[in-house]
């Protein structure tokens, strides 16, 4: 509780505020704010960053990052894809940060969200606020960034998990209402399917949560790829809405030393995406080849439907799904598990000539 009953005049308050803002201590206070602050010139080059942004960018001397653009500092994998850098790729057209900057270049305050894709499948999500201002006749943009990656991940996982669990509960309630009318064998099969689905949902939730928290450990063993893929296809075709899909697996006779649990999850998500995108008269092909010069294997999943261009730009982003907002961790988890934990890489092509092909390269992790 404050004991003083004396207040300064309004004129004194304004004078004091102006002096503080002009003082060096105010700049020092901005440096210590626990969120990221940058100022960009008209070419979107950073001319000022506080300590928090510098730490996020992984640069020790602040001067190292000055003159660079935001995506280049934050290590976005797309920023290096053209010689002109951040802001000049197709991916930049859907970047929430770029859109917010564009709004401020038109003189507007702007707020948005952006996903920065890093190496090894990782994604950072920021809430971004931008505001234009002028100084000595030159226009600048002030940007404030807040890392909301953990919040977005938790929100996504909870939404998906609760949605899937609710679907299973709805199916159980429907079974309960019809149980007296169904043959015993059919009832047992439905219960078994629901049990397997619930088990898979719980396991998926735990796996992705540990992967995001970087607490996932791997267990290396020799994996027969033909057996693994056959088992996955059989389990997926037992799902009611996928039973009549047309999928062909070309056997390779190949094995690889890797973590079978993680590879299984990667292939389940990849093959399931292809099955769900295809109609019953469209063939899906799964085949494996060896890459002897690299000591790895490549598993390809080919399907007929093409992926729209705007979807291709977002395909590996966290929280993106063609199933709707807050649904599916699909391709994001494929890249995350493959690149961060299995040491491999994931890519895809989608065009009239080759149709849609997802390729997953997995190195042999056998320890010497």
Which tens digit of pLDDT belongs to each residue from 242-260? 888 999 999 999 999 999 9
Q: What is the mean pLDDT of residues 187-208?
A: 73
Least confident of 1-10, 45-54, 80-89, 337-346: 1-10
Strands, sheet with 110-117, edge to edge from the N-terminal-most edge strand: 46-49, 36-40, 138-147, 123-135, 110-117
Task: List, in sequence order, every residue forming a beta bridge with 290; answer none if it has no partner.
Answer: 297
The CA distances from residue 131 to 45, 173, 310, in Å, are 15, 52, 27
Of residues 321 and 134, which shows the higher confidence score?
Answer: 134
Q: What is the mean pLDDT of residues 351-355?
A: 88
**pLDDT digits over 299-320, tens only?**
999 999 888 887 877 777 665 5
Q: Which pLDDT score, from 0 to 100, does residue 360 have?
A: 94
Neighbour count for residue 245 (Cβ, 10 Å): 22
320: its two tokens: 């993106």
DSSP code at position 152: H
In the predicted structure, residue 196 carries a pLDDT above the cut 80: no
pLDDT in tens, 64-116: 566 789 888 888 888 877 778 888 888 888 888 999 999 999 999 999 988 88
Q: Are 40 and 98 in contact (CB under 8 A)?
A: no
pLDDT at 325: 47
Looking at residues 195-218, what average pLDDT do you find?
Answer: 74
pLDDT value of residue 323 = 55
Q: Determine the pLDDT at residue 65.
A: 62
Contact 145, 125 (CB under 8 A): no
pLDDT of residue 215: 75
Question: What was the pLDDT predicted at 185?
Answer: 79
Structure-block tokens of residue 199: 């088990």
Confidence (pLDDT) at 226: 94
**CB neighbours (10 Å) of residue 47?**
12
Which has more pLDDT, 139 or 218?
Answer: 139
pLDDT for the residue numbered 35: 87
> What pLDDT digit, counting tens, does each position of 18-75 carry?
888 788 887 788 788 888 999 999 999 998 888 888 887 765 444 556 678 988 888 8
The pLDDT of residue 298: 94
Name the CATH code of domain 10-147 (choices 3.30.450.20, 3.50.50.60, 3.40.309.10, 3.40.50.150): 3.30.450.20
Average pLDDT, rounded, for the chain: 82
What is the mean pLDDT of the segment spanning 235-248? 83
Residue with tokens 């895809």, as numbered in its chain:
348
Confidence of residue 186 (pLDDT cuts 50, 70, 90): confident
Give the class (CATH, top level) of 217-363: alpha beta
In the prediction, which pLDDT does 60 show?
A: 45
For the chain, give every domain's residue range. 10-147, 150-207, 217-363
Spatial neighbors of 191 by CB under 8 A, at least 6 apart, are: 175
């Amino acid at each position: 509780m404050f004991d003083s009953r004396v207040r300064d005049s309004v004129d004194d308050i304004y004078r004091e505020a102006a002096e503080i803002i002009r003082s060096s201590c105010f700049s020092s206070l901005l440096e210590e704010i626990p969120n990221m602050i940058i100022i960009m010139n008209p070419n979107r080059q950073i001319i000022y960053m506080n300590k928090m942004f510098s730490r996020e960018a992984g640069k020790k001397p602040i001067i190292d990052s000055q003159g660079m653009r935001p995506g280049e500092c934050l290590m976005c994998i797309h920023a290096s894809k053209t010689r002109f850098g951040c802001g000049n790729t197709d991916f930049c057209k859907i970047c929430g940060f770029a859109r917010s900057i564009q709004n401020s270049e038109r003189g507007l305050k702007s707020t948005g969200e952006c996903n920065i894709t890093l190496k090894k499948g990782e994604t950072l999500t920021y809430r971004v606020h931008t505001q234009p201002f002028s100084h000595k006749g030159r226009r600048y943009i002030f940007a404030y960034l807040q890392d909301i990656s953990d919040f977005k991940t938790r929100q996504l996982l909870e939404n998906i998990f609760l949605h899937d669990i609710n679907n299973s509960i709805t199916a159980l309630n429907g079974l309960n209402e019809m149980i007296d009318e169904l043959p015993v064998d059919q009832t047992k099969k439905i219960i078994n399917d629901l049990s397997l689905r619930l088990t898979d949902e719980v396991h998926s939730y735990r796996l992705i949560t540990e992967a995001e928290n970087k607490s996932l450990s791997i267990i290396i063993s020799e994996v027969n790829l033909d057996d693994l893929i056959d088992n996955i296809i059989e389990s997926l075709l037992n799902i009611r809405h996928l039973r009549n899909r047309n999928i062909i697996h070309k056997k390779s006779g190949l094995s690889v030393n890797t973590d079978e649990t993680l590879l299984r999850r990667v292939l389940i998500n990849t093959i399931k995406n292809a099955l769900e995108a295809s109609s019953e008269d469209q063939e899906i092909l799964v085949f494996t080849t060896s890459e002897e010069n690299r000591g790895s294997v490549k598993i390809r999943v080919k399907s007929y439907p093409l992926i729209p261009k705007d979807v291709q730009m977002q395909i590996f982003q966290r929280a993106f799904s063609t199933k709707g907002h807050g649904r599916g961790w699909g391709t994001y988890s494929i890249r995350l598990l493959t690149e961060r934990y299995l040491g491999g890489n994931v890519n895809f092509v989608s065009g009239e000539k080759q149709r849609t092909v997802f390729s997953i390269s997995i190195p042999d992790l056998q320890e010497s």
